[in-house]
Structure 1
Amino acid sequence: MWIGTLFALAAGLMWGLVFVGPLWLHDYPAVLLSFGRYLAFGLIALPLAWLDRTELRRLRRADWLEAAKLSLVGNIVYYLFLASALQRAGGPLPTMIIGTLPVVIAVVSNRRNARRDGLLPWRRLAPSLVLIGAGLALVNRAELAHLRADPAADLGRYALGAMLALGAVAAWTWYPVRNADWLRAHADRSPRAWATAQGLATLPLAALGYALTWLGFGVAQPDWSMPLGPRPLPFVGAMLVIGLLASWLGTLCWNEASQRLPTALAGQLIVFETLSALAYAYLLRQQLPPAATLAGVGLLVAGVVWALRVRPVAVPAH
């Protein structure tokens, strides 16, 4: 349990980096950031595949098809929605909407996977969900107050960012549940090889998407040149760092956690990503979080600690 929790924490620290990229590279369109990140992930996976070549040979056609589905929805579609949301609504609000994932995944997977993982009793699970929900509400309230105080704020753009963040939540509710299904059904397989397989499956999708984006912007003729956009060196550096740390290493750590923990509990530990992203966003702003935000973070942490105390109860087979 605790080893799985530490892997989830490491994944959260890595995944928090993906919230920084769209804010730092604010002059890049979200579609270029999404395909750029996963093109880097796929290219990084190529040499890593040599290390896992024996494990990768064990994968069948159905496994590669599952890896491609996971890559499309959990990688490209998710990050396209997230990057678009961040560029329209700033860092904290999309971060907090994504932060509802612990609650959403726990609710979705608790009943769905009860026979496999055991049922986390709702009566014992409810306090952690309430604490996490209250923490998210507090941080959102503080961010909305910050927005209202800004005379240049565009509420319509902010609302669109919130809607796009909800799309990201839908994509990443589906991904960890399906990913855990495969990992729990193949407990003898290497989580590292499965992370590499997803990178390899991502490569053709990202390469095609990047080529079409290049073609599209070539027709539109923006003020900057393709294929690397207005700031080539920062763009390439950020894509490589995010591709290695967030995409490959983060996925590896999450796979290790998913093999060890019930999906409903692992879903709640995605709160580590929210906390990391929030910390990185305020570092980028060079500001200290307000008291309400810190109180919300405290509630989030309390909710996670409570959740770790809940043990699944076996469901009898019928």
Structure 2
Amino acid sequence: MARLPALLTMSTLPGNPIMRSLRLLLALAAFACAPAAFAQAYPSKPVRIIVPYPAGGPVDALARRLAESLRTQTGQPFLVDNRGGASGSLGADAVAKAAPDGHTLLLTIPDPLINAASTLRQLPYDPHKDFAFITQVATTGVVLMANPDLKARSLSDLERAGRAHASGLSFGSWGPGSLPHVIGQAMVQKSGVNFVHVPYRGAAPALQDLLGRQIGFAFGPANLAAQYAQKGQVSVIAVTGKRRSSLLPEVPTFAEQGYGTPPFLLTAWMGLLAPAGTPAAIIDTLHRQVGAALKDPGFLGFLASLGAEPVGSTAAQFRQDFEREFPLVNQLIQSTGLTPE
């Protein structure tokens, strides 16, 4: 009987159990290393950060500063893409339908994910299923600024001004069902004053009309409120949340002025998300990169200049906060009598 060639022994025959086991072990090892290798290769091309509001607002400002930090860390461009409209749902939908490869991200406040579920007749995405949560970057109270012609210095003054307007006193929000819309409607319920809602495509255009004295009051970030107040362009009346803003320590909260129910205690978090199905390794990489930004004194100084506080929650914490806040906010929206548009 002829001997087998040296390279074709029993241990190397294709059907040999030893070889099958070896191939399986090699495959498992390669699979285990794949996520780390994938994360190391990310990002492999420019990344879009979609902001579902026009340029010039606080979310846009944060997105641009965060994009700069991520570009510095990775060497790849992070480009801000403003997609305003439909209470932020247009931009959120673009991310929900993007490829889940980490190269399209969403930086947003809660409105397109939470409020819009009760205020828009049809959402083109499922906020619970169509996004991968990465981290809450920061949170900030929302400031009520009034037209200085009203001579209002408090919520009581604003109520009196509203009653003096037979056709109602207008207020601007950054879209139907947005946090300012909910707050304004809750003010109507509490005071009985006819405050008339005027929706805009973002905070920036609403504030422009306020500065032009086209509306009675509007809502925005503390940094802009401080700037406008210093120039005499607005009267700063109140801030949401449980604490006063560090930028406006002299301005009382809504609760301090008798508006202590839940709508007036809400703050606006700004969070980073990706399309559902984005690999966990990429989510972890982005979380670490945002965490590095939140340790940078320059970045923290930027947040302080907005009147915002850093968060840096884990993906799991972010989702838990979202799931807890979702029913609360939508119950509040329904209690104000808002109807889907």
TM-score band by shorter chain is under 0.3
TM-score using structure 2 length = 0.24
Which structure would you say has the larger RCO, counting Cα contacts within 8 Å and 6 or more residues apart? 1
TM-score using structure 1 length = 0.25
Structure (1/2) with the larger helix percentage: 1
Structure (1/2) with the larger strand percentage: 2
